Amino acid sequence: MEMPLKQLKEGLETLGMLNAMKEHSSIMEELFCGGPPTLSAASLLDLFTIYYSPRGTNRRALEEVAVGHWQNWIIEVEDGDAAVEVDGGDTIKVTLESVLVFASGASAIPIFGFKDNPNITFFHENINGRRQVFPEANTCTITLKLPIGHEYEEFCHFMTSGIIQSPTFGVA
């Protein structure tokens, strides 16, 4: 058994992996033994970089309200309170995983994170004179675009409905 372990150690050293395993043992343990960490509201909220308009502008004020709604809604999602009733009386709930799939195409945060930081931007423009009400996502750049100018209940409804009604990639 000594010889195979020696060969394994030598192989890991040539790639610099042995040193990385020693320096980052907790991350490597998750990588090799535990799978991705459990998704939580806090980890999902920490994941995104928010791109605001300049301070003091009307746009910024609307964006800050939308971010407050986003944060509260994510907590509702974690608690299992974000749902939409569909025909026939069935209820479909949004999960943190479905929010992440909507925004990124991935069902879990990769152990070493995403290559590019996921980000949040906002809808300020009207489409054909109508305000955008549903969220949009670009899974290539991992950009989530939030609607603005809604009361909290409307925001929750549009976020929940938008994610439930969106086509999915399945599990990435």
Tokens encoding 150:
């809604």
Can you give the pLDDT at residue 167? 65
Segments in 15-166 forming alpha helices (H): 17-23, 25-29, 41-47, 58-79, 96-104, 152-165
77-114 residue pLDDT tens:
999 888 877 777 788 889 999 999 999 999 888 877 89
Can you give the pLDDT at residue 87? 74
112-143 residue pLDDT tens:
789 888 999 998 877 677 778 899 999 999 99
CA dihedral 76, 78, 81, 85 (to 10 degrees): 120
Phi-psi category of residue 75: left, alpha or beta, with phi > 0 → left and psi -120 to 50 → alpha: alpha
Query: What percent helix, strand, coil does the chain show, rounded to 5?
Result: 50, 15, 35
Residue 50 is inside which H or E element, if any?
strand 49-50
Amino acid in the structure at residue 39 = L
Query: 122, 56 in Cβ contact below 8 A?
Result: no
What domains, with CATH codes, occur in the chain?
A: 2-34 (no CATH), 41-165 (3.30.2410.10)
What confidence tier does 171 reach under pLDDT thresholds 50, 70, 90?
Answer: very low
Tokens encoding 7:
């060969």
Sort strands 119-122 and 143-146 into parallel, antiparallel or unpaired. parallel
**Span 46-54, average pLDDT:** 95
Task: Check residues 131 and 75 and name the one with the higher pLDDT.
Answer: 75
8-45 residue pLDDT tens:
888 888 878 888 888 888 777 767 776 667 899 999 99
Q: How many CB atoms lie within 10 A of CB 67?
A: 18
Task: Check residues 92 and 74 and name the one with the higher pLDDT.
Answer: 74
Can you give the pLDDT at residue 103? 94
Tokens encoding 171:
């599990």
Can you give the pLDDT at residue 170? 44
| φ and ψ at residue 56, rounded to 5 degrees | 90, -5
